[in-house]
Structure 1
Amino acid sequence: MRVVMFGYQTWGHRTLQALLDSPHEVVTVVTHPKSEHAYERIWSDSVADLAAEHGVPVVIRDRPDDEELFQLLKDADPDIIVANNWRTWIPPRVYNLPRHGTLNVHDSLLPKYAGFSPIIWALINGESEVGVTGHLMDEELDAGDIVLQRSVPVGPDDTATDLFHKTVDLITPVTVGSLDLIASGRTEFTPQDRSQATFFHKRAEDDIRIDWSRQAEELHRLIRAQSAPYPAAFTHHKGKRLEILAAVVSEKRYGGTPGRIFYREGEGVVIVAGADARTGRNHGLAVTRVRTEDGRELPAAEYFTRMGGYLTDRP
């Protein structure tokens, strides 16, 4: 099939590579201009550079809604558009232009985790698996019929970085497998159960701020979800920002006030956690590695030279 590819960053790069390695013909690539936004510098392999290396025409756009681009797409005469990590709305006249419409490749197990940062949100929420879905695009974001879906389990110590690498490896089988099904003449695919749909927003500063009234298990997932190269989860100690780079759930249960710097356990320093911590039924969060406001990274046992005092969500 003749394919136009819409994509950006490493997700788009991996999708384009899968298409270039497949029997299908990539006739045009549309990608976003390079950005200096902090989140868009993460996983920033260039779709434009890869296309140029293979002699594929490249169009750079923030939004795909101008007449010049629409005419270019018509002239390309695609059988299908494939999109992955396209960051702005694609209008119906574009996604309906090809004979087979548009296949969107999304890094979640739809209908759950539509929208943004699905792997991070899924890890924070304690999901047992994550994955990639190829679905046909319609008027509602990430809501079209599912062509193909693949999943991987979430391990007890997996970080968002681990899950990124696991799921990005699913892009090729989902993309090429979906196109092969469509090219075979199949037209009926699996409608999404919209009663199960969830939609998530982009991550922001407040989303990585540690709230010590949350259970230690939740905080452990948050810290794993904010693994490098993502911005680290943070708290405040004595009025200064302190990033928590690594932690485990404590073996013992600790009672008291959330945020209290309480006890050395193994290689960590236990912080009391949970809104009902006063009951003594909760595990604490044993912090093992931190980064200070001035950029020093060190073991928590070296940073916390004495017990007592509190970590807080604000200075």
Structure 2
Amino acid sequence: MRIVFIGCVKFSYAALEMVIKETKAEVVGVITKNESKFNADFASLEPLAKKYKIPLMIAENNDQEQMYQWIKELNPDVIYCFGWSYLLNKKILEIPKLGVIGYHPTKLPKNRGRHPIIWTLVLGLKETASTFFFMDEGADSGDILSQEVLPVLETDDANTLYNKLISTALQQIKTFTHQFMDNTYKRIPQDHDQANYWRKRNKEDGLINWRMSAKTIYNLVRALTKPYVGAHCLYRNREVKVWKTQIDQHYFNQEEVFHIEPGKVLKVEGNHIYVKCGEGVLILVEHELFPLPKEGEYL
């Protein structure tokens, strides 16, 4: 089976390497980028393509006519498009007889759209899924090829959830690659009536407002931590990143702090900063606040 592989993120790199090493499929072409201004987890596939002597196309601009001509010459049976920020046009989608396979880390048809790992954590969802689907001209709307549900733990953050999804997804790719070769794969249509779409995150979505509850801020911080850009607050007229927090369950009695204004620093212990929120107290564990605020100061 001939595969053209498209991608430019950490997951793309892991998936391509696995397909090359652990399946009998032939990767006949790789499309990637040399840089990305909006993929925090960017990873060029060029090193793998050169290492394994696979034809390579660097697609820095979304020139889909050039991509179409290049892919058509390679005559793939299937295209794997994992970690690409553009929809593919109909001409490209119609090239391979088996279709173009995309990836979305949610329980489709729910939660289509942008920044799925971030919104999953921001909203405090208890589960998500690793989903591969046959791409059509819509966004994440094609028939499902493979879906595995994963629990989202209270302790998960963007990094741990990303890695859990990669681990699950690699096994799925190995399985359905063999199913394609054996012609045992299945297509499961999505129920479009159950679908919703998440929007693109903007910078303002990452701003910590201390009038939020401690739980809401905790979810925001874990959603935006590395490999993403980080949540931020304003301290002494500058933007400061917050990478990790904990909800205080023991030190402060909630009734005693109920009447304290949001944003007030209640305690500084080492590098840990206890801050009163709209509801509850949050501990800033990993952050860039320097010099450290004093007890009684406001963030």
- The TM tier, using the shorter chain, reads 0.7 to 0.9
Cα deviation per residue 1:145-192 (whole Å; 9 max; x = unaligned)? 111112332222221111111111223212222233333324642222
Deviation at 1:211, TM superposition (A): 1.8
Deviation at 1:265, TM superposition (A): 8.6
Residue number in structure 1 paired with 2:12: 12
Q: Amino acid of the residue matched to residue 48 of structure 1?
A: E
Residue of structure 1 aligned with 2:196, choices 187, 193, 198: 198
Q: Amino acid of the residue matched to residue 283 of structure 1?
A: G
1:243–1:290 contact (8 Å) kept in structure 2: yes
Partner SS, residue 236 of structure 1: strand
Cα deviation per residue 1:117-156 (whole Å; 9 max; x = unaligned)? 2111101111112332111111211111111112332222
| Cα RMSD for the two superposed structures | 2.3
Residue of structure 1 aligned with 2:206, choices 202, 205, 208: 208
Q: Amino acid of the residue matched to residue 243 of structure 1?
A: K
Q: Amino acid of the residue matched to residue 63 of structure 1?
A: N
Q: Amino acid of the residue matched to residue 259 of structure 2?
A: G
Q: Alignment length, in residue pairs?
A: 291
Deviation at 1:271, TM superposition (A): 2.6
Residue of structure 1 aligned with 2:267, choices 241, 257, 264: 264
**Aligned residue runs from structure 1 range 17-96, under 5 A:** 17-21=17-21, 22-35=23-36, 37=37, 39-40=38-39, 42-61=40-59, 62-66=61-65, 68-96=66-94
Residue number in structure 1 paired with 2:288: 291
2:267–2:295 contact (8 Å) kept in structure 1: no
1:224–1:246 contact (8 Å) kept in structure 2: yes
Q: Amino acid of the residue matched to residue 261 of structure 1?
A: K
Structure 2 stretches of 5 or more lacking a match? none
Partner SS, residue 69 of structure 1: helix
1:210–1:234 contact (8 Å) kept in structure 2: yes
2:232–2:239 contact (8 Å) kept in structure 1: yes
- Name whichever of 45-54 and 228-237 sits farther off: 228-237
Q: Amino acid of the residue matched to residue 277 of structure 2?
A: A
- Give me the TM-score of the superposition, normalised by structure 2: 0.88
The alignment status of 1:305 with 2:297, answered yes or no, reads no
**Alignment partners' CA distance in 2, 1:225 and 1:75:** 41
Cα deviation per residue 1:184-220 (whole Å; 9 max; x = unaligned)? 3246422222233232233331111012232211111
Residue number in structure 2 paired with 1:240: 238
**Aligned residue runs from structure 1 range 139-178, under 5 A:** 139-178=137-176
**Aligned residue runs from structure 1 range 213-232, under 5 A:** 213-232=211-230
Residue number in structure 2 paired with 1:278: none
Identity of aligned residues (%): 25
1:247–1:287 contact (8 Å) kept in structure 2: yes
Structure 1 stretches of 5 or more lacking a match? 275-281
**Alignment partners' CA distance in 1, 2:29 and 2:287:** 46
**Aligned residue runs from structure 1 range 127-146, under 5 A:** 127-146=125-144
